[in-house]
Amino acid sequence: MYDKDTVYIVGHGRTSSDNAITHHYKIFFISFVVKIETTEIIDLECSATVDITKKFVHSLFIGKKLGEFDEEIEEEIKRRYFGSSQRAIIVAYKDGVKKFNECKQRYYDQ
């Protein structure tokens, strides 16, 4: 399904204790499928409990880059996503950027 020039990265963030995600998954995560060379996010899933939330988070990231933190993505999340997991999405995104760069440096930048 995914080309050999892609990697799978999981970013984590915490949600509030009363959030349904916390009760179901214990932690919020976003799983990114990323093209190594272009850093383009080509697919993703997240641990939201409602399908429309998963689709909306998907639309926030598809086609964007994971190679470096983009403040415009953070601002878009703040401007458009008003669920209780807003901060967790931003933290999971930052964690995904960090892990992608660690992966790329360790295995692909030689």
- For the segment 51-104, what is each residue's pLDDT rounded down to a tens digit? 999 999 999 999 999 999 999 999 999 999 998 889 999 999 999 999 999 999
Asked if the structure places residue 39 within a domain, the reply is yes
Q: Could you give the 3-state DSSP secondary structure of residue 28?
A: strand
1 belongs to a structural domain: no
pTM, two decimal places: 0.89
Provide the domain limits for residue 11. Answer: 6-107
What's the domain count of the chain? 1
Q: Report d(CA 34, CA 22) in Å as an integer.
A: 26
Written as one letter, the residue type at 46 is: C
Residue 37 counted as domain residue: yes
What's phi and psi for 16, nearest 5 deg?
-65, 160
* Chain centroid, CA 87 distance in Å: 12
Residue 29 sits in a domain whose CATH number is 3.30.390
Asked if residue 38 is part of any domain, the answer here is yes
* pLDDT single digits (tens) 25-64: 567 899 999 999 999 999 999 988 789 999 999 999 999 9
Identify whether 48 is part of a domain: yes
Residue 31 contacts residue 66 (beta carbons within 8 Å): no
Report yes or no on 67 lying in a domain. Answer: yes
DSSP 8-state class, residue 27: S
